[in-house]
Amino acid sequence: MNFGRRRFWFAGLVGLALFAATLVQADLKSLRQGLAQVDPFWTGMALAAGALSYLCIAGVLAQLLKEMKHPLKFASVLRITLLACTLNHLMALGGLSGVAAKVYMLAQKKIPPSRTLSVSMVHGFLTNTVAVVMIYLGFFLLYSQYKMNRKEMGIGGVVLAVAFALTWITVKVIVDGRFRKKAWRISLRAYERVCLMIKKPHWLQRRRADAFFENFDESMNLFMADPRRLWGAASFAALDWIFMFLCLKGSFLAANHPVDNQTLLVGFAVGIFTGIFSITPASIGVMEGSMAGSFYLMGVDYESALLATLIYRFAYYILPLAVSIPLLRTLSPESTSRGAHEALPEGIKETKLPNV
């Protein structure tokens, strides 16, 4: 077993330990009673909202591909979306694992890597920008309604600073051609230094790398030439987060414990952040504990908060993950390695990548 797999399983064990610790904090008898009394109608509504959210994510990607003159059948786009989301959940790296998966799977559809990268980047921007807005709203509501000590304020400030920095960089890369070129030159120079440091200068072929960037830059300029072309994709992105929020709301109704929207938004923001930057696969243990804990601190009964969080996790994460597992089998370790290889810009992929 290589280092990557050992690290994955170790993180999984840590997540299970955190999940067990979260359950231990609850009155298990009360939790079982609540589970037995779950409302089937609202459970179904939560499942439906989760499914509609994933369809909207696929809708964003389908619209972007259509605008780039590379339309695909919606079934193919939905498959790509499910697989990318699954990899994001299993290996949360700020969305990077999902971007790499989309680049590879779109490249399999004979779409040039430079185009797939630009589509994936705009797709991630449209979906993650709403996530950042949710994080800001959640923090604002938390700050305005609940007393926070200096330590909590410091942590919140770091969270907001990271969210703002990532959003600002992404926006600048998308809309500002000069910034995009400068960022590319800095990245290429840093990569060149790494290659020289490890005595692998042949890993970088400048001419091919620059050709890749020119194609990528052309694709981004095509998007920005008429921003109105993004309205369809942006509408699907907004609907995605609305349905995701409704999935959480339906989960609390299924647990027979309605919660006001402001309280829901704070817990929702906590769940979004832990999902993007998690140390465990599928955020197991981390998301359950942080969401249930945040609702409890806002006055919600802990057992009800935990039950609703578990219903939400099942509807939005576990069930789609189970549906995606058969699709993951189509990506063998060898093809996954080749996929990561293909996702790299031309000119900086002149070596074999290790299987993970």
List pLDDT tens digits, range 108-160.
888 877 677 777 777 777 776 666 776 666 666 666 666 566 766 676 677 67
Rounded Cα gap, residues 148 and 297, in angstroms: 11
Answer whether residue 27 is part of any domain. no
Judged against a pLDDT cut of 60, whether residue 95 lies above it is answered with: no
pTM confidence score: 0.76
Sign, Cα dihedral of 40, 262, 88, 101 = positive
152 and 198 in contact (C-beta within 8 Å)?
no
Lowest mean pLDDT among 110-119, 190-199, 317-326: 110-119
Judged against a pLDDT cut of 50, whether residue 26 lies above it is answered with: yes
Answer whether residue 31 is part of any domain. no
351 pLDDT band (50/70/90 cuts)? Answer: very low
Count of structural domains, the chain: 1
Answer whether residue 32 is part of any domain. no
pLDDT: is 30 or 125 the higher one? 30
Nearest-CA neighbor of 278 among 18, 22, 58? Answer: 18
Rounded Cα gap, residues 163 and 257, in angstroms: 31
pLDDT at residue 353, rounded to an integer: 33
Rounded Cα gap, residues 163 and 183, in angstroms: 19
Size (the chain), residues: 356
Answer whether residue 16 is part of any domain. no
Answer whether residue 56 is part of any domain. yes
Answer whether residue 352 is part of any domain. no
pLDDT at residue 258, rounded to an integer: 92
pLDDT: is 160 or 270 the higher one? 270
pLDDT at residue 324, rounded to an integer: 84
Answer whether residue 349 is part of any domain. no
Structural domain of residue 118, as residue ranges?
Answer: 37-343
pLDDT at residue 341, rounded to an integer: 47
Sign, Cα dihedral of 249, 253, 259, 263 = negative
Answer whether residue 18 is part of any domain. no
